[in-house]
């Protein structure tokens, strides 16, 4: 009998996937007959004050779409109920919709928020448009039990290459939240621009935030627009964005690049590089700069000062310090660096970079934070408290997990969203590569090279929007969606439920909702296998 019941549940779940067009797919979906109709008598109640913001958000959606005013109050009895269930996980929820009532249970506001996103996807697509529906709002009856597979579900936005206005950054966060992503990685500094106000070092915003021109076309073309590009976020704007994200249960991780990708810093403070007398400029070309920070005490003082101000703005646990693509040429040619290597008993420049990162790690740890870096921080020995973001495939992540370090998998061949998603002849300019939606979806974070215990260190996955060729939010959306939805489902949904054909079918059914949100998504997947 139990076997039959399980078969029945799985069968119903399969039907549900196709009927409800939910992304990411919940862990358990059991269809029911009938529907809930929003009426004049419909009200929203919540059993715990923590659920109030979520209840009010639902009230806002329904208020704009419905012909009726929808009330919200603390209580136990109502047509739409948010109830605390402490037995559930931090991000888990249950959603039961019947003709007479909608019941949502969650342990935390976060779980309730994710239940809300599922509920909204079950409503008519126009719910996202902020306009009145011509008829009544109907919601199909269903029972859902859900929780995420991974705790870290991230998207990175590079604002170092191109500055994005505050409202554009908030729009990026809005869309992440709808699809249950919970980590916004904010790439704030680059060779081509410094984007965050540091009060102790004002030249970072007056000099390092502006480059004289930007490249046009691909790197090989060597063409420039002749127009200055700049911008930065004040500390008040940063606080505003962080608070905005928190309301959507998204943590913001800032990235301050070091020791490479720092030419913009040297344009303002040349004494931190190879030659204090050199006239550095904020880099106008894309690619990797040979001009890097030097491991002098003056440099560490500068970075500690910068990170002190940064950490005060970001309440989250992690500070990303980059650590990637740091050419060692200048260190090899430097008497100071070579003497330092000998003094510290190091083997080579790779171990010198490890020394650099360890110094920063010790400082970050002393402030109650944890260091996060790209997989190059493994070179020369990994800092003891660091978490690794594996971008050069999965090898670095595997190595870090085997060393008992937490890992975020972000392999470029699956999750670099600046890659082409269709034939380059039919697409706007991108950095290169070939990354269709199906390939994004195919990534499996549980790698056979890891034991069950080692695999526990893989805390999640992230996709990255590098912006050398992406100068505005509309183009960023085009490159991000729908590929970010593939990441969302891989990170959230059960491994056993992965099925690209079904995902594609649900996504196609979900497109009216994306249209209502005015997402500038790519349609390339519709004609791809």
Task: Give CB contacts under 8 A, 24+ apart, made by 399-403.
Answer: 400/375, 400/457, 401/450, 401/454, 401/455, 401/457, 401/458, 402/450, 402/454
Could you tell me whether strands 189-190 and 193-194 are parallel, antiparallel, or unpaired per DSSP bridges? antiparallel
Helix, strand or coil for residue 384?
coil
What tokens appear for 357 in the block?
A: 């990162």
How much of the chain exceeds pLDDT 70, in percent?
97
Euclidean distance between CA atoms 40 and 184, whole angstroms: 39
Euclidean distance between CA atoms 321 and 303, whole angstroms: 10
Q: Can you give the C-alpha Rg of the chain in angstroms? A: 24
Give mean pLDDT, residues 501-528: 98
Question: 152: closest CA among 320, 369, 389?
Answer: 389
Cβ pair 293, 258 in contact under 8 A:
yes
Q: CA dist 479 to 159, 165, 219, 359, 520, Å? A: 15, 18, 19, 37, 9
Residue at a domain's end among 94, 112, 146 = 146
Q: Give backbone dihedrals phi and psi of 370, rounded to 5 degrees, phi first.
A: -120, 140
Give mean pLDDT, residues 232-255: 98
> What is the model's pLDDT at position 452?
96
Euclidean distance between CA atoms 186 and 169, whole angstroms: 9
> What is the model's pLDDT at position 382?
83
End-to-end Cα separation, the chain, in angstroms? 39
Conformational region of residue 428, where left means phi above 0, alpha means psi within -120 to 50, and beta covers everything else: beta
Residues 139 and 160 in one domain: no
Euclidean distance between CA atoms 340 and 306, whole angstroms: 24
Instruction: Count the residues in the chain.
Output: 529
pLDDT digits (tens, 9 = 90+) for 3-20: 434 333 443 343 334 479
Euclidean distance between CA atoms 330 and 346, whole angstroms: 17
Give mean pLDDT, residues 366-386: 91
On the question of pLDDT at 524 being above 90, the answer is yes
Euclidean distance between CA atoms 14 and 258, whole angstroms: 48
Give CA torsion, residues 108, 246, 264, 360, to 10 deg.
-40
Residue at a domain's end among 124, 146, 168 = 146
Euclidean distance between CA atoms 190 and 106, whole angstroms: 41
Q: Which DSSP symbol is given to 25?
A: P
Beta carbons within 10 angstroms of residue 83's beta carbon: 16
Residues 514 and 422 in one domain: yes
Q: Report the b/e string of 419-439 with b at 16+ CB within 10 A.
A: bbbbeeeeeeebbeeebbbbb
Structurally, how many domains does the chain consist of? 2
Cβ pair 259, 295 in contact under 8 A:
yes
Beta bridge pairs of residue 210:
230
Angle at Cα 135 formed by Cα 132 and Cα 136, nearest 5°?
95
Helical axes 166-178 vs 109-122, angle rounded to 10°: 80
Residue-number span of the structural domain to which 74 is assigned: 2-146
Residues 117 and 86 in one domain: yes
**pLDDT band for position 384 (50/70/90)?**
confident
> What is the model's pLDDT at position 15?
39
Q: Which of 2-16, 139-153, 221-235 has the lowest mean pLDDT?
A: 2-16
Residues 365 and 435 in one domain: yes
Could you tell me whether strands 210-211 and 229-230 are parallel, antiparallel, or unpaired per DSSP bridges? antiparallel
> What is the model's pLDDT at position 383?
78
Residues 203 and 123 in one domain: no
pLDDT digits (tens, 9 = 90+) for 37-48: 999 999 999 999
Residues 354 and 374 in one domain: yes
Residues 123 and 212 in one domain: no
> What is the model's pLDDT at position 18?
41
Name the one residue in this structure whose structure tokens are 């009145």.
132
Q: Give me the chain's average pLDDT, please.
A: 95
Q: Which DSSP symbol is given to 271?
A: G
Residues 236 and 105 in one domain: no
Residues 187 and 113 in one domain: no
Cβ pair 474, 522 in contact under 8 A:
no
Give mean pLDDT, residues 397-415: 97
Residues 107 and 140 in one domain: yes
Residue at a domain's end among 111, 146, 181 = 146
On the question of pLDDT at 259 being above 80, the answer is yes
pLDDT digits (tens, 9 = 90+) for 316-362: 999 999 999 999 999 999 999 999 999 999 999 999 999 999 999 99
**pLDDT band for position 385 (50/70/90)?**
confident
Conformational region of residue 113, where left means phi above 0, alpha means psi within -120 to 50, and beta covers everything else: alpha
Residues 129 and 175 in one domain: no
Which CATH number goes with the domain that contains 471? 3.20.20.80
Euclidean distance between CA atoms 211 and 302, whole angstroms: 22
Return the half-sphere exposure (C-beta side, CA atoms, 13 A cut-off) of residue 354: 17
Residues 202 and 286 in one domain: yes
On the question of pLDDT at 403 being above 90, the answer is yes
pLDDT digits (tens, 9 = 90+) for 475-507: 999 999 999 999 999 999 999 999 999 999 999
> What is the model's pLDDT at position 19?
73
Give mean pLDDT, residues 155-167: 98
Helix, strand or coil for residue 94?
strand
């Amino acid at each position: 009998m139990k076997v039959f019941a399980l078969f029945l549940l799985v069968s119903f779940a399969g039907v549900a996937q196709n009927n409800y067009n939910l992304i990411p797919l919940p862990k358990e979906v059991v269809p029911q007959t009938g529907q809930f109709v929003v009426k004049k008598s419909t009200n929203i109640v919540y059993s715990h004050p923590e659920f109030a913001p979520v209840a009010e958000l639902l009230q806002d959606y329904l208020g704009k779409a419905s012909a009726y005013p929808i009330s919200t109050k603390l209580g136990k009895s109502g047509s739409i109920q948010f109830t605390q269930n402490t037995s559930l996980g931090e991000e888990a929820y249950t959603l039961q919709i019947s003709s007479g009532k909608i019941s949502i249970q969650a342990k935390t506001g976060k779980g309730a928020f994710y239940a809300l996103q599922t509920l909204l996807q079950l409503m008519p697509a126009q719910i996202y448009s902020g306009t009145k529906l011509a008829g009544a709002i109907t919601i199909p009856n269903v029972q859902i039990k859900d929780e995420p597979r991974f705790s870290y579900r991230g998207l990175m936005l590079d604002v170092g290459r191109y500055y994005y206005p505050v409202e554009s950054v908030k729009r990026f966060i809005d869309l992440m939240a709808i699809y249950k992503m919970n980590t916004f990685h904010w790439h704030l500094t680059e060779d081509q621009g410094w984007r965050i106000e540091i009060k102790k070092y004002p030249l970072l915003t007056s000099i390092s935030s502006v480059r004289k021109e930007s490249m046009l076309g691909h790197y090989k073309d060597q063409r420039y627009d002749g127009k200055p590009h700049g911008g930065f976020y004040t500390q008040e704007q940063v606080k505003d964005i962080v608070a905005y994200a928190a309301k959507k249960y998204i943590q913001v991780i800032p990235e301050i690049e070091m020791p490479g990708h720092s030419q913009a810093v040297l344009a303002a403070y040349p004494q931190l590089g190879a030659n204090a007398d050199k006239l550095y400029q904020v880099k106008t070309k894309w690619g990797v700069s040979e001009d890097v920070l030097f491991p002098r005490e003056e440099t560490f003082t500068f970075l500690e000062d910068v990170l002190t101000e940064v950490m005060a703005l970001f309440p989250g646990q992690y500070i990303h310090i980059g650590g990637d693509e740091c050419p060692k040429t200048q260190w090899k040619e430097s008497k100071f660096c070579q003497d330092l290597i000998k003094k510290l008993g190091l083997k080579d420049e790779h171990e010198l970079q490890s020394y650099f990162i360890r110094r920063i790690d010790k400082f970050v740890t002393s402030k109650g934070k944890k260091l996060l870096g790209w997989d190059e921080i493994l070179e020369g020995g990994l800092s003891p408290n660091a978490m690794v973001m594996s971008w050069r495939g999965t090898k670095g992540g595997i190595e870090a997990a085997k060393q008992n370090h937490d890992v975020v998998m972000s392999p470029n061949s699956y999750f670099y969203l600046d890659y082409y998603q269709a034939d380059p002849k039919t697409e706007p300019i991108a950095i290169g590569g070939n990354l269709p939606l199906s390939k994004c979806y195919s990534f499996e974070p549980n790698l056979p090279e890891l034991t069950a215990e080692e695999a526990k260190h893989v805390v999640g996955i992230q996709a990255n929007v590098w912006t050398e060729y992406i100068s505005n939010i509309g183009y960023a959306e085009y490159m991000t969606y729908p590929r970010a939805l593939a990441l969302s489902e891989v990170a959230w949904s059960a491994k056993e439920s992965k099925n690209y054909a079904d995902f594609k079918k649900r996504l196609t059914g979900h497109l009216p909702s994306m249209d209502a949100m005015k997402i500038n998504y790519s349609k390339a997947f519709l004609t791809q296998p």
